[in-house]
Each structure stands twice: as C-alpha cells, then as structure tokens.
C-alpha cells in the first residue's frame, strides 16, 4: 500500500471514532465520475477514501479535494489485484472501524462504444471486462461487508449503465440501440443482478444496495461526444449513497428516475 494522505498529513497518526462522521470508500476515485462523486459526498460532510492504482494521480486527486475543504485520503486499490481487497479492509478497519458508504465505481470498457461486436468479441475481452466490472466488485463488497454492517446506515452503490438494461435495449425506438458492445453491456447486466441479489440477502438490515446509471458522461470511457459534463456525473451515486432509512434498495436509478432492468 502506498502512502495515504489525510488532510494533507502523511497518515501516520491515528484517527479516532470521535472525530469521524460517515466514511465513503470510492473505487477508481482519482478521476472522472469517481472523483466527482467524492466531491459531491465530501461537500455533505463525509470523509472520503479514494481507492486508486496510481499513487501520483491519487495524491493529486486528494489535493484537489483538500482544496475544496473536503476531508480525504487515498489508498491503493486495484481491481486486477485481489490482494488489495485485504489491504483496503485492514486500512478502513484500523482507521475508522466501519464503512458507511461503498461506491463500486471502477470499471472498464475495452470495445468501441458504438456498434455490435456480438459475433466478433474475443474471449479475452469478455474475461477482462467481467473480471473488473463484475467479479472484482463482488469480491470487494463481500470483503468489506463486515465493516458496512457496523455503520448506522450502510449504503452500497454499484456503478452500472443504462447499456446494461435489457429493457432499454429492447424497447421500441430504443435510444441506445446503436451501442451494443457485448462484453461491457453484459457485465453491467450481471452487475445489476448482483445488486438485486445482494439487496435481497440484506433485506431487513440497515444496509441498502442500488445500481446507478450516472449518465453518458464526457470521460475517457464515455468519449467527447457524451452530452453530460463530469461536474454533473456524481449526482446519482451521491443520492443513493445518502438515502434515508425510507429509501429504496435493490433498484436501478438515474438521478430520480427508476430504470428498467
């Protein structure tokens, strides 16, 4: 694990439960939608922990959050390295003793966004996409669940996509008909299934689990022609992360709208 950063310090000191409010861990949080989500949650008073692969980019993101008056730090997390699940758990357990919000934001798109590669997509692309977008999410969530169970109101947000909606793809006049990268879309559909199943498993607890479609955003993944600016991209995840006790669980949302599975 590389050096963590907390309020500009080296992270060597201990943070006690007395000065910790809600804590959010955001994977892939050093840029794009993840970093914007960190801003949106940090402005609501949450302590932000970014999970990132690149320490230099992570520390730059933390500096940006500090500049906005947000309490934040960064720790090493790589969806392709299962051993980082354990190091994340150890760090969060030692420093905070709980986890209020898990935002499973990290994901990959390894195909052209526009087009249909169902007859040509390689097994390697399928395996790598599912490894990051599905298997790593399930593995990390299961690892961190004991810490989420210690929170007063645990929230799990899985970053999905409307492209994972079978209903949206098959609707007459579908607006997403031309975007059929099979590996990516199927991985997001599988992630939605995890949301439904995990929410059912946790029914009756204080934990809520939902899938979020952030919108088509101008990121490296979304491309320059996407209509949504990064500044607006964290709204759905932040809303689901801050749901009250009467909020939904096991749903699929974009901002205030429920999406079809």
- Residue 130 is predicted with a pLDDT of 98
Asked whether residue 5 is assigned to any structural domain, the reply reads: no
pLDDT digits (tens, 9 = 90+) for 33-80: 999 999 999 999 999 999 999 999 999 999 999 999 999 999 999 999
Catalytic residue among 2, 77, 184, 225: 184
- What are the tens digits of pLDDT across the range 122-165? 999 999 999 999 999 999 999 999 999 999 999 999 999 999 99
Write b or e for each residue in 216-250: b if 16 or more Cβ atoms lie within 10 A of its Cβ, otherwise e. Answer: bbbbebbeeebebebebbbbbbbbbbbeeeeeebb
Establish if 60 belongs to a structural domain: yes
Q: Is the pLDDT of residue 14 over 80?
A: no
Lowest mean pLDDT among 8-22, 82-96, 221-235: 8-22
Question: Number of structural domains, the chain?
Answer: 1
On whether residue 39 sits in a domain, the answer given is yes
For residue 184, indicate whether it is catalytic: yes
Residue 77 lies in a domain: yes
Establish if 3 belongs to a structural domain.
no
Tokens 């299961």, located at residue: 142
* CATH assignment at residue 190: 3.40.50.720
Q: Higher confidence at residue 31 or residue 11?
A: 31
């Amino acid at each position: 694990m590389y050096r963590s950063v907390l309020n500009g310090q080296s992270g060597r000191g201990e943070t006690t439960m007395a000065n910790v409010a809600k804590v959010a861990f955001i994977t892939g949080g050093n840029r794009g939608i993840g970093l914007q989500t960190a801003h949106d949650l940090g402005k609501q008073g949450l302590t932000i922990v970014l999970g990132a692969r690149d320490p230099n980019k992570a520390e730059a993101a933390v500096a940006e959050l500090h500049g906005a008056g947000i309490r934040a730090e960064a720790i090493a997390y790589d969806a392709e390295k299962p051993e980082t699940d354990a190091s994340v758990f150890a760090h969060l357990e030692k420093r905070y003793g709980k986890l209020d919000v898990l935002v499973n934001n990290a994901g990959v798109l390894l195909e052209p966004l526009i087009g249909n590669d169902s007859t040509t997509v390689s097994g390697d692309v399928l395996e790598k996409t599912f490894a990051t977008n599905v298997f790593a999410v399930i593995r990390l969530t299961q690892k961190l669940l004991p810490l989420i169970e210690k929170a007063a109101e645990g929230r799990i947000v899985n970053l999905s996509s409307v492209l994972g909606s079978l209903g949206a793809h098959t609707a007459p006049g579908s607006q997403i008909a031309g975007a059929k990268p099979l590996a990516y879309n199927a991985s997001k559909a599988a992630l939605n299934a995890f949301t439904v199943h995990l929410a059912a498993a946790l029914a009756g607890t204080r934990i809520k689990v939902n899938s979020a479609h952030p919108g088509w955003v101008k990121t490296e993944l979304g491309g320059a022609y996407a209509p949504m600016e990064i500044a607006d991209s964290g709204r759905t995840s932040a809303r689901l992360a801050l749901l009250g006790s009467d909020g939904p669980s096991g749903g699929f949302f974009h901002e205030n709208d429920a999406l079809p599975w």
